[in-house]
Amino acid sequence: MTTVPSIPSNCGVPVPGLIYGTAWKQERTQVLVEQALALGFRGIDTACQPKHYHEPGVGAGLATWISNGGKREEIYLQTKFTPVDGQDPLRLPYDPATSLSEQVSESFEVSLRNLQTDYLDSLVLHSPPESRSELMEIWSAMETVAASGAVRQLGISNCYDLAELEYLYDHAAVKPAVVQNRFYTATGYDREIRAFCRDGGMIYQSFWTLTANGWLLRQLQDMAAAYDRSPAQVLFRYLSQCGIVPLTGTTSAIHMRQDLAIFEFELTESEVAEIDGLLKA
């Protein structure tokens, strides 16, 4: 079984170099999480957002893996607080009439129950609200959760405004340790945000990495053939060598094995530079 290396965040939390994403899996979530863990994934990403995630299925899959000899402490388990505007109004995991702070607290408690654990490795704000006052109210509530010892680090997702990320970093008592964004051309592949993450010791996690980059995968066919790998493996390997942690949400056991195998080969400096050039074209 391939061992997935980890990258330490600015909080000292080791983040696996490849994470299994559970969005859109619904009733298949438990089986797929069990499969991912059995094949070697040690990082799982979910959210307390019934609209797109089945968090209880993640917990059930993890519990089965543990019952078969796995250890909770070997797993990096990451969930998200999703504000009301990102939720299904008919399946809210908290009372929307309460304060933002109370919504964060209730959502986190629901996550702990769903995931059948007494702590989480990372709590991520699913998307920043429009106002900075609301952003800091939510973040302060997340800091309270962190202060209790129930979560090891905090992060933010879908944050594409560098100024907003800088504001959060400058004003937060607990600095963000994770930034999880779409990795695609519309944002210029977050070059400035990724540079800011590197400077601050934040782990940049990419999602939508394959789906949004079909054009790039086609450009990588020759390089992939030279390594007897797939273009997806070459792209994931490139990201890994750049310090980026990609999420993969594949439902195929074959593709799971291929994704995990990216740590079995290494691109040359010139090949990394070539892909850099493609992303800047």
Would you say the C-alpha torsion 154, 159, 162, 163 has a positive or negative sign? negative
Whether 208 has a pLDDT exceeding 90, the answer reads yes
Per-residue pLDDT tens over the stretch 131-181: 999 999 999 999 999 999 999 999 999 999 999 999 999 999 999 999 999
Whether 246 has a pLDDT exceeding 90, the answer reads yes
Whether 1 has a pLDDT exceeding 90, the answer reads no
Choices 3.20.20.100, 3.40.50.2000, 3.90.1150.10, 3.40.190.10: CATH for 6-213: 3.20.20.100
**DSSP string covering 41-69:** --EEE--S-TTT--HHHHHHHHHHHHHTT
pTM of the model: 0.97
Per-residue pLDDT tens over the stretch 122-133: 999 999 999 999
Per-residue pLDDT tens over the stretch 32-69: 999 999 999 999 999 999 999 999 999 999 999 999 99
Per-residue pLDDT tens over the stretch 83-130: 999 999 999 999 999 999 999 999 999 999 999 999 999 999 999 999
Residue 197 φ then ψ, to 5°: -60, -45
